[in-house]
Structures are given as C-alpha cells and as structure tokens.
Amino acid sequence: MNPNDFYQLVQSRKSIRAYKPIPVENDKLERILEAALHAPSGKNRQNWRFFVVTGKKRDEYLKYSQKSWLGIKDVLAKRLKPSLYQFTERFFYTLGNAPVIIFCYSHNDSEERYLTSIGSVYMAVQNINLACFVEGLGCCTMGAPLEIKQEVDQFLGVTHLPEYQRGELELLCAVVLGYPDHNPPKAPRQREGRIIFVDDVLEKNQ
C-alpha cells in the first residue's frame, strides 16, 4: 500500500450531514461492518455490539433524534454561527435523510477496565468512518443519542437482553451513513498544544 494513499484517506474523511435518497447496498454495508470487526480491542474481547437500523425503523427513530437535539441545542447555540446552527437543527430533525443508522454499544464486564472497553468500540467506529469514505459514502458519528440513552435502548429492544439487564451493555454513539448530498469544508485541525513530546518537555524543565 502506498503510504500517501493512507494519509490522504485519513485527511479526506469528514462528517457529512446531508444525504441523497439512495439506499446503501447490502454488500457495501456488510464490508463496512466487517471493517469495524477488524479493529483492535482490549484483551481481544471484541466487545463491540452494532445495531443497524434502516427502513421504517429508521423513520421511527426521527422523533427520538429530534428529542436528543433538545439536550445539546443550547451548547451548540454558543459555538455555531446562526446559519450553521439552523443547518444542524434541520439535520437532527431529518438525520440528513441518511438511510442507515448504526448504534454502537460496548459490552463491558469485570474482565476489562471500563475505559479500555469503550475505547475498543471507538476504534471500531473509526474503521466505520474510513470504510464509508472508501465505499463512496459519507457518515457522521453522533453522541447526541446519549442525551436520551434509556429511550434509545428501549427503542432498539436491547433492554430485554441478559447482558443489558446485568448492566454490561452501554450505548456509546450512533453513526448515520449514506451517499453524500453536499461537500462541506473540513474544519481546520488544531495543532497548538495537541501533541507533546515528553522528552522535550522534560529537557525544558531541567
């Protein structure tokens, strides 16, 4: 593999919030989910659980998406300019017409530390993001479902699972995906204070 191809892939990935009304082919969706399964995980537990929502069930989720917006709108109002705030609000009310939602859960248990368990799932989510781009799709990873976590659990029916009832199954995020219907600019990467070489820090403090 050409290293430049990989770095171009990583740098080209961005969040998409508007999608064409075109279904995602099953073979593409299967390859994306297979990519997620190849992420590293703590003690190789592969503790991710993915609940894939499409069709009428996806349409039913819109009312929950709209409710989750209420939990974050005030914070976003302070961070976004008015036009972007309005665009984001519309996104939550329609999910940008994305035809697929993947809800990402962590199966936690006493054999692994909590942060390692959830970190393993987020590495799988990154694989989903990159695989979507390779497949010509767009996606957006969303933490907003956590605003109404218990309602999402009930909506998906996970509350009936034994591991959920034991307190081991936890929603971490959702990923909406589909064919992009816009090409937004990617937010500039912030580098100041983000990367610290410890040897240099120690030398400066001596």
Tell me, what CATH number does 157's domain have?
A: 3.40.109.10
- The proportion of the chain whose per-residue pLDDT surpasses 70, expressed as a percent, equals 97
State the first-to-last Cα distance of the chain, in angstroms, to the nearest integer: 43
Whole-number Cα distances in Å, 103 to 15, 59, 131: 16, 15, 16
Whether residue 3 is contained in a domain is answered as no
Query: What pLDDT score was predicted for residue 24?
Result: 98
Would you say residue 175 lies in a domain? Answer: yes
Count of domains forming the chain: 1
Higher pLDDT, 206 or 189: 189
54 φ, ψ (degrees, to nearest 5):
-140, 180
Is the pLDDT higher at 198 or at 148?
Answer: 148
Q: How confident is the model at residue 199 (pLDDT cuts 50, 70, 90)?
A: confident
CB of 10 within 8 A of CB of 130?
yes
| 51 within domain boundaries | yes
Task: Judge whether 2 lies within some domain.
Answer: no
User: What range defines the domain where residue 198 resides?
Assistant: 11-205
> In sequence order, which residues have a C-beta less than 8 Å from that of residue 116 and are 6 or more positions away?
42
Determine, yes or no, domain membership for 150: yes
Q: pTM here?
A: 0.94
**Does 196 map to a domain?**
yes
Domain membership flag for residue 80: yes
| 5 part of a folded domain | no
